[in-house]
Structure 1
Amino acid sequence: MARLPRLIVPSQPHYIIQRGLNGQPVFQDTDDYTTFLGWLRTAARTYKVAIHAYALLPDQLHMLATPSDEEGLGQMMQWLGRCYVPYYNQKYGRAGTLWHGRFKTSVVDAANFLLVCSRYIELAAVRAGLSPAVEEYPWSSYAHHAGIRPDGVVTDHPAYWSLGNTPFQREAAYIELSGQHLSAAQIATVEAAVLKGWPLGTDQYKKDLEQKARRQVLPAKRGRPFKQP
């Protein structure tokens, strides 16, 4: 199916993924991760994008973020590229692009999928065999949500706050939720949406989004339109 033009909806969460060129590493040591996170925090504040969850893997990055306007998310990603790619190229003696094309994104139905996406992102390192447990991987937002350590990059979403009336209640509820493995169907649904640029939500959410955006948000069905007799 043909890829739809990228859809950015202000005040709605978006799942963002960007991979290294041809599967090559984009983070190789602690300084790479901490440098990128420092710039991410600055860029998010500058372009008014709230980062709700993230995971940095050696060859890719995943984020869950809400932009305040249509331009901020793209501007943030461009700014990060202008800062991080020259740093990385100079450090490792390489030239040219670091990323495999443009970043991919999917608008997320917060009421039904935000916490699913947050867990999917933070468990990415476990699924990839990089860590035996989610709490042991240092380059994700899980430690913040579980109350292990605060993370200045993260802005909590109302869906996270709904887990409890106190920080302890929210953290305990999130730890319990993260201990419940995502089903194969949930994983497949998230991956299909973000990799193809489709909205991630209920059918009603998608219909409402299409009306709000005044454009097609899902791929058209194959074949010729059915003609009424």
Structure 2
Amino acid sequence: MPRMARIVLPNYPHHIVQRGHNKQVVFAVPEDFRRYISDLKELKHVFGVKVYAFCLMTNHVHLLLAPGDDTSGLGKLMKGLAGRMTRYRNKLEGRSGTLWESRYKSSVVETDTYLLACSRYIELNPVRAQMVDRAQDYPWSSYPLRQNENAEHVWIDKSPVFEGLGLTHSDRLARYSEFMGQATPASELQLIRQALQRGQLTGSPRFTNEIENITGIRVSQRPRGRPEK
């Protein structure tokens, strides 16, 4: 059965996960993490892609990215990130071959309702994995970077939803920190995970209908298995 074509829309956020090949370790030492973040910071400008959130785990990455009017920038960014990291690790280890799974997972996110939810999901990954007690204690995500009181020194992009949290940067940080501290509903976790796993949309039924009308592609959630007779 052919897999569903990836949906990429201009100026919409996309939740992306890319995993190491056969779940192998991608980031072994701090320099590995720093190199990937440096490349992300550089290439987002090259390809005109906004970075709303990120988290680098040992064997996979979570990204919340929004391409501009040219949607090809998203794929070029992911190819550039993967290629640079592969060449770096292969040279370091004196090996050849792939470092990543061949196809990253992607889900278009409903901006108004789920963008902050996806940011929280991404930045709480180390906490759910019991690597740290607090999101701000994990150095390889956007959360500690976001906490900088000087907005000019924060290179991650601020979404309209984040900007709407308050009149000042400090107010926005306080509101977002409060949001991060709230318990995440189980239904929200399930929707985000299933949408990403199935390559579908992270959003409401109304949002799904709107995107289906725009793209002409059916992306509605369907039950797994064969239909009942």
Asked if structure 2 preserves the Cα contact closer than 8 Å seen for 1:122 and 1:141, the reply is yes
Aligned counterpart, 1:25:
25
Comparing 184-193 with 1-10, which one deviates more in the overlay?
1-10
Report the secondary structure of 1:5's partner residue. coil
* Structure 1 residue 45: Cα displacement: 0.7
State the shift of 1:220 in Å: 6.1
Corresponding residue for residue 59 of structure 2: 59
Q: Where does residue 93 of structure 1 map in the other structure? A: 94
Q: Secondary structure at the match of 1:12?
A: coil
Which residue of the partner structure matches residue 214 of structure 1?
A: 216
> Which letter does structure 1 place at the counterpart of 2:146?
H
Paired residues, what number?
Answer: 225
Q: Does the C-alpha gap of structure 1 residues 102 and 172 become closer, same or farther in structure 2, counting only changes over 3 Å? A: same
Change in 2 beyond 3 A, CA 1:126/1:219: closer
Does 2:33 align with 1:10?
no
- One-letter code aligned to 2:189: I
Q: State the partner residue of 2:114.
A: 113
For 1:117 and 1:149, how far apart are their aligned partners in 2?
Answer: 24
Question: When the two structures are superposed, what TM-score results if normalisation uses the length of structure 2?
Answer: 0.92
Secondary structure of 1:105's aligned partner: strand
- Give 1:48 shift: 0.5
Give the aligned partner of residue 128 of structure 1: 129
The whole-number CA distance in structure 1 between the counterparts of 2:20 and 2:154 is: 25
3-state DSSP of counterpart to 2:62? strand
The answer to whether residue 181 in structure 2 is matched with residue 179 in structure 1 is: yes
Q: Is the 8 A contact 1:7 1:217 kept in 2?
A: no
Alignment of 1:149-188 (within 5 A): 152-188=154-190
Shift of 1:219: 5.8
- Secondary structure of the residue aligned to 1:106 is strand
**8 Å CA contact retained: 1:41, 1:152:** no
Contact 2:149 2:169 in 1 (8 A): no
Measured after TM superposition, the shift of residue 70 of structure 1 is 1.9
What's the TM-score, normalizing by structure 1? Answer: 0.92
Q: Cα distance, 1:181 vs. partner?
A: 2.1
Distance 2:218 2:80 in 1: 29
**Match of 1:191, as an amino acid?**
R
Distance in structure 2 (CA, Å) of the matches to 1:41 and 1:146: 17
Instruction: Tell me what 1:143 maps to.
Output: 144
Deviation at 1:117, TM superposition (A): 0.2
User: In the alignment, what sits opposite 1:72?
Assistant: 73
Contact 2:149 2:170 in 1 (8 A): no
**1:142/1:130 CA distance change after superposition, 3 Å:** same
Cα distance in 2 for residues equivalent to 1:131 and 1:201 = 29
How high is the sequence identity, in percent, across the aligned residues?
Answer: 34
Correspondence for 1:34: 34
SS at match of 1:6: coil
**Partner residue, 2:49:** 49
Q: 2:179 and 2:21 mapped to 1: Cα distance? A: 34
- The corresponding residue for 2:84 is 83
Gaps of 5+ in 1: none
Give deviations 1:72-113, integer Å, cap 9, x for gaps.
100111111221101011112332111122111000001110
Query: Post-superposition shift, 1:30?
Result: 1.1
Aligned-residue offset at 1:152: 4.8
CA distance, structure 2, for counterparts of residue 185 and residue 93 of structure 1: 45
